[in-house]
Structure 1
Amino acid sequence: MRPLLPAVGLVLAGALVFTVLAVSAPPDPVPAAAEWPAETLQQRLKRLPGDYRGWARLGIQYVEQARVTGDPSYYAKAEGALATAARLDPRDDTVLTGRAALAAGRHEFATAAELAGQAINANPYSAAAHGVLADARTQLGDLPAADRAVNEMLALRPGVAAFARASYAAELRGDQDRARTFLEYAHDDASTPADLAYTRHYLGELALHQGDLDTADRWYTQSLEAQPAYTPALAGRAAVAALDGRLTEALTLYESVVQRLPLPQYLIEQGETRIKAGLAADWSLLRAQRRLLEEAGVRDDLTWAEFEADHGDPARAVRHARAEYARNPNLMAADALAWALYKAGRPKAALRHAEQATATGWRNPLVRHHRAEIERALGRPARTGPTPGFDPDLPALARPS
């Protein structure tokens, strides 16, 4: 899932949640400057505590801050703001969309889909609600419904957020050319440094997962030129360096990445790069982040299934993967369950889930590698070939972003 979010602890290594900030309804008309001086949203809410849409927008901003900073404590702030909005008007589409965005950030995708559907019933023209619905349906494994939501969003408000979702939908179907085309549309439409950084980063991700390290690095570099503080692009440059064998450079870059944004995905990438360089991995910060996310109400069995399968206890990986798949039977969860079962010595049980993970034609290199290894263990010819540039010692670098 592309994080608006996305990714989350958000992702984060599995969340395809996008922020609704770029696609939410425009604010109410602002009176002339002579009527009152410029004010923050918090100041406006002190003056107008009954502004339910203002409370909803504040909640949405807190959800976005959780993504940008990696600080899950913003979820509690978002919950408080959105609860106030819901008390004032529980049926407003902006309020419902904000609540859906919070649920998605916490990986409660069934709840997110339900709330987004209610928002659409209240206002069928809400591009933001269709966007959150698309993200949630993708995570729930209902790709046809996700495609319908994306198409509605494209019709209502074509732009960066809609094109990015359309790109990801095409990527999940294995149509990499169309995925790139939609991202190029998004890049052409980008008008702010943040949007330029975002679209260039994901163009880099597409190139990285196709093994084109030079093109990937070029896009990541241009992303940082647009917004030097955009940490995902810095992580992309670290990944390119690691895959290119420049491990000292990669570790230096990862140190900067995790100091800025200590998300589980980046901490795992850093640890795997240390192991590749012959150093010991220190997972203590990763475990601390896991506790913080759990305390904030984020359920991320997907990340922990993948981590335990590669670096911990395969039996625990199976438990996490089954829990994730039961809630969100998407392609990523199917792949995680397949790999966990394989690492636990059960390749026959794993094959069915590996086949599901590749059934749409999705060409993610890690997913293809997992299926090939499972088929090899069963004495069958692998139906998925290797991807150029993929390194099985650095699996986190090929995980969906």
Structure 2
Amino acid sequence: MIRPARTADDARPPGPSERAASAVGMGAPAAAVDLSALVADREKWVAAHPKDDASWAVLGAAYLEQARRTADTGWFPKAEKALKRSLEVRPAEKGNLDAMTGMGALANARRDYGTGKKWGELLRAQAPKRWSAYPVLVDAYAGLGDYKAAQQAMDRLLELQPGLVGYTRASQVYRDRGWREDATMAMEHAAGAAKAPAEKAYALYRLGELAWERGDTAESLRQFEASLRTDPGQAQALGGRAKALAGLGRGGEAVRDYRLALGRTPVPQLALELGELLEALGRDQEARVPYDMLGALAARDDVHGVDDDVVLGLYEADHGDPAAAVRRLSQEWARHKNMQVADALGWALHRSGEDTAALEYAKKATEPGLRSADFAYHRAMIERGLGDEAAVRRHLEEAMRTNPRFSPLRAPLAKEALAAIGQPGPGGPENLLPTRPWVAPELPKPNPPKKPKPAPPTKPKPSPSR
């Protein structure tokens, strides 16, 4: 049976604002053109309808996606204002789930994972079967270092919504556990579930990052270039391609791509990577420009409520004041006890000469499972400061196995340290070598099993007399 046509039926394909609204509502990336159309449409609408809480929530989510695409943290205050306006019109107690989801995602984007956790748990308490609560919870729990809770939230997300967002979070959780093949497979599922070029490009970018981390530089370059062909506006992939080119020894092309990426998405991490690449190429004077840019970008982000303490701490530890890095990262550790903060704090302590304390944080970074060449190298250098030669060799070899091109500055230093430390001598520790020939011990003979005694013969019963 075919029902009669209705007034709301429309056979035309969705317009730009409708496509972007659908993507933002699903927590997926949206095309730049569509996103701009959505922002303009919703701004015009809420100006005429200021009591429309749903439109305020969509506008806040669109601002948040604009911040992600452009790396311009100036969108965050606008997103917060729109989402709070939505909550004023319809408070959280009355079930404004879209605005609550947006507030949780905004907190995570600012790396305020404690606030993200509060919003995610409030949303889950009100609507346990609403899938959009669980991406917020996965990100928040991972940022707080509660990786078991992150995996539980991810499992629930895949039960409710096994699509692009679910597979992306699954890949993130598997990566943190050190399950590289599972992380890659989940991200391939995400790429297969993508419906728009922006979604596909994002998944390909993440596949490139996974390939880079496992040391497959040529494959990472192919994935980054595929991402850029799918969506030329995917600036994150441009920064990834620069990193891969540097790993392949194509330094001039890498510098060009880093500068292009910083022009499109100015983030502190890219500035740090470019500065270190220029240092590795012997262009120390040029390296000062991205390092100065890093400080300016971090100051801008701080004004907009974004936490850049990890990248700032690593910069200060290697190129600035290690003691200031320790103070900064100690405060960050009090808020967010995740692997990235533990690694950065351990490295800052090492650079400050406090290797005993540094090793405790290096263990917290490396033992949960994430396979990172940077983490392994940092731990090896800390153990070298403590004189543990066997541990130094083990972790330097781990860094080289994981990704021999992990840094244009530190990878050559790791190779030199490994060559200098050499291989262990023949034999083994003296207390493990036998002093006498081995003789088979005399074992007690087993007792023969006892034979059971035969049962006594039974007498026949006399027949009853008549």
What TM-score results when the alignment is normalised by the length of structure 1? 0.87
Indicate if the aligned counterparts of 1:24 and 1:127 stay in contact, CA closer than 8 A: no
Alignment partners' CA distance in 2, 1:257 and 1:299: 21
Aligned residue in 2 for 1:67 = 68
1:357 to 352, 365, 368: 365
Aligned pairs (5 A) from 1:292-331: 292-331=300-339
1:242 to 246, 249, 253: 246
Is 1:261 the counterpart of 2:274? The answer is no
Q: Once the 2 structures are TM-superposed, how far is the Cα of residue 233 of structure 1 from its aligned partner?
A: 1.1
Q: What secondary structure is seen at the aligned counterpart in 2 of 1:297?
A: coil
Aligned residue in 1 for 2:56 = 55
Aligned residue in 2 for 1:390 = 405
- Aligned AA for 2:316? E
Post-superposition CA distance 1:242-269 (Å, at most 9, x none): 1122111111111111111111111111
Comparing 215-224 with 125-134, greater Cα deviation is found at 125-134
Alignment partners' CA distance in 2, 1:392 and 1:248: 16
Is 1:103 the counterpart of 2:93? The answer is no
Is 1:78 the counterpart of 2:79? The answer is yes
Aligned residue in 1 for 2:172 = 168
Aligned residue in 2 for 1:221 = 225
What TM-score results when the alignment is normalised by the length of structure 2? 0.75
Structure 2, unaligned runs of 5 or more: 1-22, 29-39, 412-466
Indicate if the aligned counterparts of 1:58 and 1:78 stay in contact, CA closer than 8 A: yes
- Aligned AA for 1:327? R
Indicate if the aligned counterparts of 2:247 and 2:408 stay in contact, CA closer than 8 A: no
Alignment partners' CA distance in 2, 1:174 and 1:260: 32
Post-superposition CA distance 1:363-400 (Å, at most 9, x none): 0111111111112221222243223433444469xxxx
Q: What secondary structure is seen at the aligned counterpart in 2 of 1:125?
A: coil
Q: Once the 2 structures are TM-superposed, how far is the Cα of residue 61 of structure 1 from its aligned partner?
A: 1.3
1:142 to 128, 141, 146: 146
> Paired residues, what number?
364
- Aligned AA for 2:319? H
Alignment partners' CA distance in 1, 2:300 and 2:76: 11
Is 1:23 the counterpart of 2:38? The answer is no
1:203 to 185, 204, 207: 207
Alignment partners' CA distance in 2, 1:320 and 1:202: 29
Aligned residue in 1 for 2:380 = 372
Aligned residue in 2 for 1:159 = 163
Alignment partners' CA distance in 2, 1:151 and 1:98: 21
2:196 to 173, 192, 195: 192
Aligned residue in 1 for 2:12 = none
- Structure with bigger gyration radius: 2
* 1:312–1:22 CA distance, 2 compared to 1 (3 A): farther
* 1:217–1:22 CA distance, 2 compared to 1 (3 A): farther
Indicate if the aligned counterparts of 1:23 and 1:127 stay in contact, CA closer than 8 A: no
Alignment partners' CA distance in 1, 2:146 and 2:410: 26
- Aligned AA for 1:56? A
* 1:211–1:24 CA distance, 2 compared to 1 (3 A): closer
Alignment partners' CA distance in 1, 2:241 and 2:89: 46
Alignment partners' CA distance in 1, 2:271 and 2:410: 13
Indicate if the aligned counterparts of 2:238 and 2:257 stay in contact, CA closer than 8 A: yes
Alignment partners' CA distance in 2, 1:130 and 1:40: 28
Indicate if the aligned counterparts of 1:62 and 1:77 stay in contact, CA closer than 8 A: yes
Alignment partners' CA distance in 1, 2:371 and 2:406: 15
Post-superposition CA distance 1:214-254 (Å, at most 9, x none): 11111111111100121111111111111122111111111
* 1:394–1:190 CA distance, 2 compared to 1 (3 A): farther
- Aligned AA for 2:361? H
Alignment partners' CA distance in 2, 1:394 and 1:86: 48
* 1:221–1:172 CA distance, 2 compared to 1 (3 A): same
Indicate if the aligned counterparts of 1:24 and 1:126 stay in contact, CA closer than 8 A: no
Aligned residue in 1 for 2:449 = none
Indicate if the aligned counterparts of 1:243 and 1:390 stay in contact, CA closer than 8 A: yes
Structure 1, unaligned runs of 5 or more: 1-19, 26-38, 397-401
* 1:24–1:221 CA distance, 2 compared to 1 (3 A): closer
Higher RCO structure (Cα 8 Å, ≥6 apart) = 1
Alignment partners' CA distance in 1, 2:348 and 2:323: 8
Q: Once the 2 structures are TM-superposed, how far is the Cα of residue 299 of structure 1 from its aligned partner?
A: 2.3
Q: Once the 2 structures are TM-superposed, how far is the Cα of residue 284 of structure 1 from its aligned partner?
A: 2.0
Identical-pair percentage: 37
Aligned residue in 1 for 2:43 = 42
- Aligned AA for 1:69? T
Comparing 131-140 with 379-388, greater Cα deviation is found at 379-388
Alignment partners' CA distance in 2, 1:75 and 1:219: 30
Q: What secondary structure is seen at the aligned counterpart in 1 of 2:233?
A: coil
Alignment partners' CA distance in 2, 1:266 and 1:336: 17
- Aligned AA for 2:268? P
Q: What secondary structure is seen at the aligned counterpart in 2 of 1:127?
A: coil
* 1:107–1:386 CA distance, 2 compared to 1 (3 A): closer
* 1:394–1:58 CA distance, 2 compared to 1 (3 A): farther
Indicate if the aligned counterparts of 1:94 and 1:119 stay in contact, CA closer than 8 A: no
Alignment partners' CA distance in 1, 2:227 and 2:27: 24
Post-superposition CA distance 1:283-330 (Å, at most 9, x none): 222211111111111122111111111211110111111111110000
